[in-house]
Amino acid sequence: MSLHPPIKIGTRDSELAIWQASEVQKLLALQDIPSTLVPIKSEGDLDLKTPLYAMGVQGVFTRALDIALLNDRIDMAVHSMKDVPVQLPQGVCQAAVLKRASHKDMLVFKEDSSFLKNPISIATIATSSLRRKAQWLHQYPYHRIEVLRGNIHKRLEKLENEKWDGALFAAAGLDRLSKRPAHSIELDWMLPAPAQGAIMVVCKEDDTLTKRSCQSLNDLSTARCVKIERDFLKALMGGCSAPISALAIEENGNIHFSGNIFSPDGKDFLEVEKKAALSNAGKMGEEAAEEIISKGGLTLLNQIKNAGK
């Protein structure tokens, strides 16, 4: 019998969030650490109509869990890392980052995808992400974008019922729930949100026992890469719903980084590519952001801020 007190794991109550928290629960069980799941409603789950970029608040999917953590209702919280603000609340710290799943975005389409072959085609695509919307409109400027909110099941269901041609999803979410439709395409040309596909565990800064319990859950390579991506986002003063994309990949002792920022309508963009040895990559995210700003990034940032008002 374990002598470790049961850990209360806070999670959003969506199917995907429960899956992610259950993965953490399984990893803790391998250390003979008992735990229970504590589902909590987030602001982002209660309002399913307003586009995320128009909600005007950071951490719409994480704040309720942070409050529960600081009030000792839970011992740790499990988040989709791309939803976590770059600045954690005072008293909360990153305890672990799990090994990353697919970072890619995906188009789920109706039976016919021929509209993808013609850049001047007219089609209707659904997404709640300003980042995905901007990159899609850059690639397909004549398409119409509709707002799509809700959990994965509801979004797939709505796509089926609406007169839309397709909808955009994170591949990791569909794969984790084994709901990748046959009519789907991975978008290799679309750069993901910083930390997309990664799962983050947070706890209280002064909770030494929980932090120690999470040490074996941490994947060092994933943690290094997503830190660079989030440093890029933070240096550009972007929130997790901004049309800012970043991807860092560790390979053969090097870090390869790609980042971009788009105007909300997809017409203007700036991008950056960098490569450095792992030992010299600590400031890569900030340096990439400085390069974007030197190219005129502040103008795009102002467009993003005005679009959210």
Residues 14-24: tens digit of each pLDDT: 999 999 999 99
pLDDT at site 306: 73
pLDDT digits 0-9 by tens, 64-103 = 999 999 999 999 999 999 999 999 999 999 999 999 999 9
The active-site residue out of 45, 66, 75, 83 is 83
- At what angle are helices 284-294 and 297-307 packed, to 10 degrees? 90
Q: Could you give the dihedral angle defined by the CA atoms of residues 62, 68, 71 and 72, in that order, rounded to the nearest 10 degrees? A: -120
Q: In this structure, which CATH number among 3.40.50.2300, 3.30.160.40, 3.30.465.10, 3.20.20.140 belongs to the domain 232-304?
A: 3.30.160.40
Can you give the pLDDT at residue 238?
Answer: 67
**pLDDT, position 44:** 46
Give whole-number Cα distances, 174 to 100, 105, 193, 260, in Å.
14, 10, 16, 25
Please indicate, yes or no, whether the overall pTM of this predicted structure exceeds 0.75: yes
Model pLDDT, residue 19: 97
Residue 53, pLDDT score: 45
CATH superfamily of 7-99+198-218: Periplasmic binding protein-like II (3.40.190.10)
CATH superfamily of 105-186: Periplasmic binding protein-like II (3.40.190.10)
Amino acid at 62: T
244-290 pLDDT per residue, tens: 999 999 999 999 999 999 999 999 999 999 999 999 999 999 999 99
Q: Specify the pLDDT at position 149.
A: 86
Q: What pLDDT, on the 0 to 100 scale, is given for residue 239?
A: 63
How much is the average pLDDT of 284-302? 93
pLDDT in tens, 30-75: 999 999 999 998 664 444 444 444 434 456 779 999 999 999 999 9
Q: Dump pLDDT digits (tens) for 174-204.
A: 999 999 999 999 999 999 999 999 999 999 9
SS3 state of residue 213: helix
Token representation of residue 69: 């953590």
Decide: helix, strand or coil at residue 200. strand
* CATH 3.40.190.10 boundaries in the chain: 7-99+198-218, 105-186
Exposure b/e, 11-20, CB count within 10 A at least 16 = b: bbebbbbbbb
**83 classed as catalytic:** yes
Domain with CATH 3.30.160.40 in the chain: 232-304
Spatial distance between the Cα atoms of 124 and 30, rounded to a whole number of angstroms = 46
Name the residue with higher pLDDT: 54 or 226. 226
